[in-house]
Amino acid sequence: MKYLIINADDFGTSKIFNEVILNLIKKDLVRSTTVMVNRITDDQQNQLAELISLLKTKNLSVGLHLEFKEGQNDYETQIKSQYQKFKEILNFDPSHIDIHRFKDFKDSYPLVADFCQQNNLPVRNRGEVFEKCKTTATPAFFGTVKKFREIKNWLKSLEDQKYYEILMHPGKFDPNCKSNLNKKRKKDTKHIKKLNKILKKNDIKPISYFELN
């Protein structure tokens, strides 16, 4: 048996994206999501309440999607601020941490790793700097930019008794959102549905971050 976390990134970026993520969670097609706390707006409060409610009935992990500001290297301050804001907004601790636009902020990795170690928090694997943290066997697979056959081939490479993550950005096109992944989100939603249909025959169990061993 292999173990796979399917994580829906960017909750909070758009009400449209939130709605799709919530529907995927309700259907047990996604068991993990990450929240961008600095993007949460007043008109998302009902969706936040629904996310919190789903935690009571679903095997669901809700993590913090760290969003660093370009040109500001006070990473430690930004990490602590967003971590505290997460707890204030959701009234619980994040299940795990990851980094938005991770390729642009590689110099933040050691500080994120230290914070996760100090707080006993799992973190999305981004390479050897996170090896001492609770994380997956290999760096998370960025499924959003892949064709589905590439995702299928990656699944075949997974090893027994190991834990993996694929990160996706489900949603529908939001004309008011400037995300560079905006047009890819509908495809991600379809890929998540197709992915779930082939897990069993590949001896893969979908899990949340709470089950990461």
CA–CA distance, 130 with 143 (Å, rounded to integer): 20
Superfamily of domain 2-211: Glycoside hydrolase/deacetylase (3.20.20.370)
Domain boundaries of the chain, sorted by first residue: 2-211
| Among 153, 154, 157, 127, residue whose Cα is nearest residue 139 | 127
pLDDT truncated to tens, each residue of the chain (213 aa)? Answer: 999 999 999 999 999 999 999 999 999 999 999 999 999 999 999 999 999 999 999 999 999 999 999 888 899 999 999 999 999 999 999 999 999 999 899 999 999 999 999 999 999 999 889 989 999 999 999 999 899 999 999 999 999 999 999 999 999 988 888 887 888 899 999 999 999 999 999 999 999 999 998
Contact 91, 44 (CB under 8 A): no
- In this structure, which amino acid lies at residue 140? A
**pTM higher than 0.75:** yes
Residue 144's alpha-carbon distances to 25, 29, 51, 191, in angstroms, are 18, 16, 23, 9
